[in-house]
Amino acid sequence: MSNDGLYISDPEHRQALLREAAQLPALTVNSAAAANAVMLGAGYFHPLQGYMNVADALRVADELHTADGLFWPVPCLNLCTEPPPVRAGERLALRDPNVAAEPVLAIQQVQAIEQLDAAQLAHIAQQVYGTQDRQHPGVESLLSQGSHAVSGTLEVLNYSYFETEFPDTFRTAPALRAAFRARQWQRVVAFQTRNPMHRAHEELCKMAMRETGADGLLIHMLLGRLKPGDIPAKVRDAAIRKMVELYFPAGRVLIAGYGFDMLYAGPREALLHAVFRQNAGCSHLIIGRDHAGVGNYYMPFAAQEIFDQLPAGTLHIDIVKADHTAWSRRLGKVVMLRDAPDHGPGDFTILSGTEVRNRLAAGQPLPPEFARPEVAEILMRHYQQVGPG
């Protein structure tokens, strides 16, 4: 089976499907289902062929695999508040909620329309997010999408707003594999980010490249929805590109983005990150402290420990386990805390995220130990426009 994704690239086939879609019943999906469609189309969710049914979603939540044994860490669902006007076996045009005029995003061959009861939705939330607390942004998103699960295979017709708004950054999994081949990169370390990269992130990537003997680094940023207060993708993109231009060796870094909404699912999302970096052709993925976390919902290294619980051979990508990093005043460089056992709290420069945002909003420079000045300048311009949030 090809792992090029479910996007229909042949122009004649696409036009035929668009003509068909105009005659089909339509459903405007929610942002989470739209993001799932984009990831299915872009080859990141290979070998999934579409949205899961209830049985598969519950098995994934409980056992990390579908009913037929496919490893998968997070249910891939199309939930809606009301059942769409189709029956099992019919076709449905899925419209994009995130683009003006709601163009057709995909055509779904409907397998089933099932209703999840409140207890099942709460159970999925508990298993995937480790909590049912609606203050958790991922739980709130899941529980607000509706209870009707529309399962079935997809033919994806576009990549929503990601391809048009981020033409220099959005890349599919096959496109990344091709880029690595063109550069003759055999060993590629992926760095996941939803934030701008400060000195600690920069050094973490360089440490991982040295540790793995990597030919190249993929800085792979999320381009979809975030929680309030997170920095917009265009600002992050500009900041990361400036840092790479000035502070990384030429020709060793590829900057790209993927079209997905952040789940904040901690360990489960770390596993999903590994799956789609594996599909993109990466050999290694950096998993840091509180990877994909939010608030205090997860233990600091839970996202690393979950990989140790997988049966051998589940994944074909290696994990680089990273500790928290900070600037060592004693050594004059960024270090992992585990590599500096002789240091005390006063030997590190660590700024909280709130302190960073407040300084930037006030137009105060960040310490050079924390952020490259050129990066801080880009962030400062953003925060002076929007405030600390």
Catalytic entry in 91, 183, 194, 252: 194
Let me know if 168 is exposed, middle or buried by CB neighbors in 10 A (0-12, 13-18, 19+): exposed
Q: Which residues pair with 285 in a beta bridge?
A: 190, 319
Site of tokens 């949030």: 389
Q: Are strands 216-222 and 253-258 parallel, antiparallel or unpaired?
A: parallel
Q: Which H or E run includes 154? A: strand 148-156
Residue 316: name the closest of 274, 273, 287 by CA: 274
Query: What is the amino acid identity at position 177?
Result: R
Torsion of CA 331, 354, 295, 378, to 10 degrees: -80
Catalytic entry in 195, 225, 241, 252: 195
Q: At what angle do helices 373-386 and 233-247 cross, to 10 degrees?
A: 170
Question: Is 78 a catalytic site residue?
Answer: no
- Cβ neighbours of 96 (radius 10 Å): 24
DSSP state, 345? G
Rounded CA gap, 74 and 139, in Å? 13
Beta strands across the sheet bearing 216-222: 253-258, 216-222, 188-193, 284-287, 318-321
Let me know if 388 is exposed, middle or buried by CB neighbors in 10 A (0-12, 13-18, 19+): middle
- Cβ neighbours of 311 (radius 10 Å): 8
Q: Are strands 148-156 and 188-193 parallel, antiparallel or unpaired?
A: unpaired
Phi/psi for 350 (5° steps) reads -130, 125
Q: Are strands 325-328 and 333-336 parallel, antiparallel or unpaired?
A: antiparallel
Question: Is 268 a catalytic site residue?
Answer: no
Residue 379: name the closest of 206, 240, 225, 227 by CA: 240
Catalytic residue ranges: 194-195
